[in-house]
Amino acid sequence: MKQYDYLIVGAGLYGAVFAHEAKKAGKRCLVIDKRDHIAGNIYTEPVEGINVHRYGAHIFHTNNKAVWQYVSQFAEFNRYTNSPVANYHGEIYNMPFNMNTFNKMWGVVTPAEAKAKIEQQKAEAGITEPKNLEEQAISLVGTDIYEKLVKGYTGKQWGRPCTELPAFIIKRLPVRFTYDNNYFNALYQGIPNGGYTAMVEKMLDGVEVRLNVDYLAEKEQLDKLADKVVYTGPVDAYFGYKLGALQYRSVRFETEVLDTDNYQGNAVVNYTDAETPYTRIIEHKHFEFGTQPKTVISREYSAEWKKGDEPYYPVNDEKNGALYAEYKKLADAEPGVIFGGRLGEYKYYDMDKVIEVALSVAEKELA
Ligand SMILES: Cc1cc2nc3c(=O)[nH]c(=O)nc-3n(C[C@H](O)[C@H](O)[C@H](O)COP(=O)(O)OP(=O)(O)OC[C@H]3O[C@@H](n4cnc5c(N)ncnc54)[C@H](O)[C@@H]3O)c2cc1C
């Protein structure tokens, strides 16, 4: 008999939810992570008393009441509502595009006036079959919004001008004809009081966790410890990249402590001009209505990904989709291993979806 029922590789959200459920079902679990901390990419660390989102800003939002109730066991959520603003050469616009944005842009007051303005600009552009992302965006929202709020930002995100990006990247641009700056349409939204790390710590309460352990470096030894493995690392790395490496878009953060209590007045400010090299500045304290004397900001730079970099966003193109399908066949045929989470399934998953999937896999597995 082995020492553990499950070896869970990755102390991120997927691994923590699975471990919590397995422990509840009386299973013996060991969670390992190659990093020196739990919580994976939702890790928050205290700096000057402020919870800093080290791997990018994370706002919990869901329409799934069961998932909301589930996470609420582990943390109390505050009333944070994501309302980013766009800074275009010092002009400030509300996001997502809504009546506040249109009023600032054109001085229009009613939804009918805003719709008429957009329609007029679309008609003037006269684009019937968009050939690239620029034409697609103009045909959806007109020239002004494209020029000030889409062009520079999207170009920076993809590392190429919009005229060189395919039209299909934006099928639609969310436009709202109400004075509502709430970015998400979700029923439930907030940030866990005290940060995400404390929430994951509660999920892992009573579960053995070993940090700084790279599963792939010690696979043979570690496999001897447990009957089954739940693997939430990169699926291509598991198979030694034998079919090739899956590609990602990466993000680079420059984080700085500033000797001021309020730098930008909002948690998220997008820089939508092409000249500013970063895409956004996150001011972490505003996620939790912080009143600390100092502040911490992170400038976000979109970056090409190369092997060894932190993988952030899977690239959902045909080439990578086909390659993942091949890895998925290998994963399905791997005895005693469950592949899960954003890296194990090469999928962009919001936190609520990761919880949903981990719960459903755990339910089947532990039945
Ligand atoms: C920039 C960014 C912003 C985001 N913002 C939001 C948001 O606002 N709202 C939202 O709902 N979602 C957001 N997400 C999605 C969110 O980050 C994911 O849903 C969540 O992190 C997925 O959890 P996971 O457990 O699958 O993966 P991870 O958190 O990546 O956990 C996997 C863990 O496995 C470990 N690991 C990998 N390989 C090994 C190995 N060989 N040995 C040991 N350990 C290993 C890693 O170190 C890691 O800790 C965002 C994602 C990104 C990239």
pLDDT at 238: 98
Q: Would you state the structure tokens that stand for residue 115, as one six-digit string?
A: 């719709």
Cα(244)–Cα(22) distance, integer angstroms: 33
pLDDT at 319: 94
* Annotated active-site residue in 28, 35, 249, 252: 249
Annotated domain spans of the chain: 4-82+189-247+314-366, 96-170, 249-304
pTM over 0.85: yes
Nearest to 70 by CA among 122, 13, 108, 118: 13
299: annotated active-site residue = no
Nearest to 193 by CA among 287, 126, 300: 287
In 173-317, alpha helices (H)? 196-203, 219-223, 235-238
pLDDT tens per residue across span 285-319: 999 999 999 999 999 999 888 888 889 999 878 89
Ligand 1: does its nearest atom lie under 6 Å from the Cβ of 338? no
Specify the fold of 4-82+189-247+314-366: Rossmann fold (3.40.50)
280: annotated active-site residue = yes
pLDDT at 304: 85
Q: Which of 232, 241, 284, 302 to mutate to test the pocket of ligand 1 (most atoms within 8 A of CB)?
A: 232
Cα(352)–Cα(341) distance, integer angstroms: 12
Q: Which of 35, 53, 58, 218 to mutate to test the pocket of ligand 1 (most atoms within 8 A of CB)?
A: 58
Q: Would you state the structure tokens that stand for residue 344, as one six-digit string?
A: 């194990």
Is residue 73 within a helix (H) or strand (E), and if so which, with residue range? none
Mean pLDDT by 10 residues, the chain (367 residues): 96 98 98 98 98 97 98 98 97 97 98 96 90 93 95 93 91 90 96 97 98 98 98 97 94 97 98 97 98 98 87 89 98 98 96 98 97
* Annotated active-site residue in 280, 288, 324, 346: 280
Ligand 1: does its nearest atom lie under 6 Å from the Cβ of 34? yes
Long-range CB pairs of 315-324, under 8 A, 24+ apart, other chains included: 315/246, 315/247, 315/248, 315/249, 316/348, 319/247, 320/246, 320/247, 320/346, 323/236, 323/243, 323/244, 323/246, 324/235, 324/246
pLDDT at 312: 92
The DSSP secondary-structure symbol of 179 reads: S
CA of 342 to the centre of ligand 1 (A): 6
Contacts of 217 (CB under 8 A, 6+ apart): none
78: left (phi over 0), alpha (psi -120 to 50) or beta: beta
Query: Could you tell me the end-to-end alpha-carbon distance of the chain, in angstroms, rounded to an integer?
Result: 20
pLDDT at 169: 84
- Per-residue DSSP letters for 309-323? SPP-EE--SHHHHHH
